Amino acid sequence: MIPRNRRALICGVSGQDGAYLAQLLLSKGYEVWGTSRDAQISSFESLHKLKIAAQVKTLSMSLTDFRSVLQVISRVEPDEIYNLAGQSSVGLSFEQPVETFESITLGTINLLESIRFIDPKMRFYNAGSSECFGDTGEDFADENTAFRPRSPYAIAKAAAAWQVGLYRKAYGLYAVTGILFNHESPLRPERFVTKKIVATVCRIAKGSDENLELGNIDIRRDWGWAPEYVDAMWRMLTINEPEDFVIATGEIQSLRDFLETAFGAVDLDWRRHTVINQNLMRPSDPLAIKGMPNKASLLLSWQAKIQGADLVVRLVKAQMEMNNDHVK
């Protein structure tokens, strides 16, 4: 059992996972602090959408600046640190490989070093990614599956995960990586393909004559529900011994299936409104990535409940409700 009145620092609190994690920790009695690169000008839109912005204390922090990281951790003195920051788009990582690598790897090492210097008893969660595995084909990836990254983003995430493992072994830190598979919610920005699909579907359903342009729709992914995945993050810092975990649904669907379900939710045929654009094809994009979350089920008592078509319909319904609220 985790006692109440613990203090958590969420790096990247303005993102999808950061906002849902802040909401979860507040519900458990935590004092929650969150960082963004410039808290003075950040809108923290996701925190406002969840109606928790007033409850989260925010600070500016640059993860690539060791002095900045050291100052924030020294000031907050958290019991738990969650590293959810850094460049988060696979597609963008091909256009900005240096920014991606530095924000993820240097940011992680700065946090680990700060913990080591200030208070090694702090518990540290690092956001990993299923992209580290590359193409799993027909196999399910678990904690023992080798990393074969196929994008600048995946390479950076793999390096960060190895850093965490090293600091855990070499310095005895409670430092873990959650290897999270794709997880979605209404808070996703539209640069992510799932949000792009859902937002476009809802506009077309409202009368827009636009087409949805996509790249490879034959890719297959293990998609889950973000609010469930942040619960797994928290659980990873509650057990006695620090361990890495794969967090996934164990179910895979193609982007084509995602499309069909999303358009079907508003009684439309996806083939009438979708255009394949070769310019949107990514270099070396893994065709299939699916996870095996048995360890999380056994040691964390965690299991995904929302997945497959249910997830897609839920996303479309939430987007339609958001659009109706904007009209009002």
Within the chain, residue ranges assigned H as helices are: 16-27, 45-49, 66-76, 90-95, 97-101, 107-118, 152-171, 193-205, 226-236, 255-264, 294-299, 308-327
In the numeric block, the tokens 């973000």 are attached to 226
pLDDT in the model for residue 284? 75
Question: What are the sequence ranges of the domains in the chain?
Answer: 7-184+223-247, 193-221+252-288+307-327
C-alpha–C-alpha distance, residues 246 and 234, integer Å: 14
pLDDT at residue 39 above 90? no
Torsion of CA 40, 79, 165, 177, to 10 degrees: -60
Instruction: Give the angle 310-149-156 at the CA atoms, nearest 5°.
Output: 100
Mean pLDDT of the 134-160 span: 94
- Name the residues annotated as catalytic: 129, 131, 153
Tally of helices (H runs) and strands (E runs) in the chain: 12, 14
- CB burial class (10 A; 0-12, 13-18, 19+) of residue 89? middle
Is pTM beyond 0.75? Reply is yes
Q: Do domains 7-184+223-247 and 193-221+252-288+307-327 have the same CATH topology?
A: no
Query: What is the percentage of the chain residues whose pLDDT exceeds 90?
Result: 85
- Would you place residue 286 in the very low, low, confident or very high pLDDT band (cuts 50, 70, 90)? confident
C-alpha–C-alpha distance, residues 120 and 229, integer Å: 26
Task: Give the fold, CATH level 3, of 7-184+223-247.
Answer: Rossmann fold (3.40.50)
Task: Give the fold, CATH level 3, of 193-221+252-288+307-327.
Answer: UDP-galactose 4-epimerase; domain 1 (3.90.25)
The predicted-structure confidence for 152-204, as pLDDT tens digits, reads as follows 999 999 999 999 999 999 999 999 999 999 999 999 988 899 999 999 999 99
Determine contact, residues 167/116, Cβ cutoff 8 Å: yes
pLDDT in the model for residue 327? 54
The predicted-structure confidence for 195-208, as pLDDT tens digits, reads as follows 999 999 999 999 99
C-alpha–C-alpha distance, residues 6 and 30, integer Å: 5
C-alpha–C-alpha distance, residues 286 and 217, integer Å: 12
CA distances 191 to 21, 139, 241, 260, 312, Å, are 21, 28, 37, 20, 17
